[in-house]
Amino acid sequence: MNAVRSLAASRPILPESQSRTDAVSGLVAPVCGDTIRIASRAMACEFGVILNPGSPEHLTAAGDLLNLVHDIELWLSAYQDNSELSVLNRQASEKPMHVRRSLFELLVMSKEIHSRTNGAFDITAGPLIKLWRAARAQKKIPTTDDVRLAMQSVGSQHLSLHEESCSVQFEVAGMALDPGAIGKGYALDEVAKWLNQTEEAPANYLLHGGHSSLIGRGHHNGLDGWPVGIGNPLFTEKRLATVLLRDEAMSTSGSNIQFYRYEGQRYGHILDPRTGWPVEGMLSVTVVAGSAALADAVSTAFFVLGVEKAVQCCENLNGVGVILMPFPVKGRKIEPVVVGIPADQIFWDPDQVVAPEYL
């Protein structure tokens, strides 16, 4: 079974199985071969594992790992009333709440990313996300006062974590955690960890959560990694680049799909947690990192920061690389800015992009 067309063309995809030469590097772009794909719906999206053909004994392990994603969703979901996270959101403003170690460690990571991205990523943005979701459903935008009120309950500096008791407390009323910008990546990291520790599991695989969060391990089609396509944010049926994932994770953030218009103004779904308002600074951001959770969170943060500040931030994050795609000048091709990713790992379509700037 070939999985080439099983992932949405507007986000990271397996590239077509026909080669072409990258005019920028002069190298032949890698392509995918036949694959076997197993998928299940969780966390409001599709999770899947893509395998090389010829190893049917790996299918059982692949099915088990998708069950693991469902198990994580049971405690991490912000939309299931009885999940551990939802209980935490209801009660942690009143008293310290003991949580499982996995959730505690995720919150520790989230606070660290918040600090290192100057607040551009914030897992406490739940009140803002709820406010804008309601406004979108009512086909309006929040008032400035609405946003200001929600902002009083946002800020990871008000998230108190107690290591010895593995407990969490909110220091301001109304705070609510929303793991939407890190949860899928975290689940993929846990799945990859489980696969690496399971004897009968495959060594070569591509995992995806939704179609914007991925982990590639091992080899595919004679390559030293997995080729993953990046869709053109302006023309979603086109693929403008292929990235070869070499035992690493990748995440793409953008607002070309999830947005709405109000009185002629376009509002994307990615919010700046420091201001409470949507951001539209770039077309898209693709981050490559050792951890899918880190790639997820940082891609969102870099989209919020904009090109210049994202470049500065990326240069201070070890093991993180990024492809930044600013809006092109009218009538011109996209001009990507690449930080921390080797040029021989990215293969561009010269018809859609000019020679990227590598920093």
Tens digits of residue pLDDT in 134-179: 998 898 999 999 999 999 999 999 999 999 999 999 999 999 999 9
- Give the model's pLDDT for residue 7: 32
**How many Å separate Cα 351 from the centre of its chain?**
27
Task: Give the DSSP H/E element, type plus range, for residue 128.
Answer: helix 126-137
CA distance 103 to 241: 35
Residues 51-77 pLDDT 10s: 999 877 677 777 788 899 999 999 999
Q: What is the pLDDT of residue 257?
A: 56
Q: Which range is least confidently modeled, 40-44, 118-122, 150-154, 353-357?
A: 353-357
Q: Which residue has the higher pLDDT, 103 or 58?
A: 103
How much is the pLDDT for 164?
96
Give the burial string for 196-223 (b: 16+ CB within 10 Å, else e).
eeeeebbebbbbbbbbbbbbbbbebeeb
What is this structure's pTM?
A: 0.91
Higher pLDDT, 9 or 104: 104
Cα-to-chain-centroid distance, residue 13: 14
> 255 by DSSP, 3-state: which?
coil
Instruction: Please determine, for residue 268, whether its predicted confidence score (pLDDT) is greater than 80.
Output: no
Is the confidence at residue 5, as pLDDT, over 50?
Answer: no
Query: DSSP strand E in 101-258: where?
Result: 159-162, 167-170, 205-209, 213-217, 226-231, 239-245, 248-254
Average pLDDT for residues 327-356, to the nearest whole number?
Answer: 90
For the four alpha carbons of 350, 351, 355 and 359, in that order, the dihedral sign comes to: negative
Burial class (CB in 10 A: 0-12, 13-18, 19+), 296: buried
CB 208 within 8 A of CB 229: no
Higher-pLDDT residue of 15, 53: 53
Q: Per residue in 179-225, pLDDT tens?
A: 999 999 999 999 999 988 887 788 999 999 998 999 999 999 999 99
> Checking DSSP bridges between strand 213-217 and strand 248-254, what pairing results, if any?
antiparallel
Q: Give the mean pLDDT of the chain.
A: 89
Confidence (pLDDT) at 64: 82
| pLDDT top residue among 200 and 104 | 104
* End-to-end Cα separation, the chain, in angstroms: 39
